[in-house]
Amino acid sequence: QLSPLEVPNRLLLGPGPSNAHPAVLQAMNTTPLGHLDPSFLALMDEIQSLLRYVWQTENPHTIAVSGTGTAAMEATLANTVEPGDVVLIGVAGYFGNRLVDMAGRYGGDVRTITKPWGQVFSLDEIKTALETHKPAIFALVHAETSTGARQPLEGVGELCRKHGTLLLLDTVTSLGGVPIFLDEWGVDLAYSCSQKGLGCSPGASPFTMSPRAMEKVQKRETKVANWYLDMLLLGKYWGSDRTYHHTAPINLYYGLREALRLVAEEGLASCWQRHQKNVEYLWEQLESIGLKMHVAKEYRLPTLTTVCIPDGVDGKAVARQLLLEHNIEVGGGLGELAGKVWRVGLMGFNSRPESVDRLVEALKEVLSK
Ligand code: PLP
Residue 46: partners with Cβ closer than 8 Å, 6 or more residues away? 257, 260, 261
Q: Which ipTM was obtained for this model?
A: 0.99
92 C-beta closer than 6 A to ligand 1: no
Q: Can you give the pLDDT at residue 177?
A: 98
Compute CA distances 199 → 16, 116, 176, 193, 256, whole Å: 10, 30, 9, 10, 8
Q: State the CATH number of the domain containing residue 316.
A: 3.90.1150.10
199 C-beta closer than 6 A to ligand 1: no
Could you list the residues known to form a binding site for substrate, using ranges.
343
Last residue of a domain, one of 248, 264, 280: 264
157 C-beta closer than 6 A to ligand 1: no
Pocket test of ligand 1: the residue of 91, 144, 173 to mutate, having most ligand atoms within 8 Å of its CB, is: 173
141 C-beta closer than 6 A to ligand 1: yes
Indicate whether 125 belongs to any domain. yes
Q: Pick the closest to residue 201 from 244, 247, 249 (CA basis).
A: 249
How many domains in the chain? 2
Q: Are residues 146 and 247 in the same domain?
A: yes
C-alpha 143 to ligand 1 mean position (Å)? 10
Q: Are residues 36 and 170 in the same domain?
A: yes
Domain extent for 59: 22-264
pLDDT digits (tens, 9 = 90+) for 129-145: 999 999 999 999 999 99
Indicate whether 147 belongs to any domain. yes
147 C-beta closer than 6 A to ligand 1: no
Q: State the CATH number of the domain containing residue 160.
A: 3.40.640.10
Last residue of a domain, one of 204, 231, 264: 264
Pocket test of ligand 1: the residue of 193, 194, 229, 343 to mutate, having most ligand atoms within 8 Å of its CB, is: 193
Q: Consecutive sets of 10 residues in the chain, 369 residues long: mean pLDDT of each? A: 95 98 97 97 98 98 98 98 98 98 98 98 98 98 98 98 98 98 98 98 98 98 97 96 96 98 98 98 98 98 98 97 98 96 98 98 96
pLDDT digits (tens, 9 = 90+) for 184-203: 999 999 999 999 999 999 99
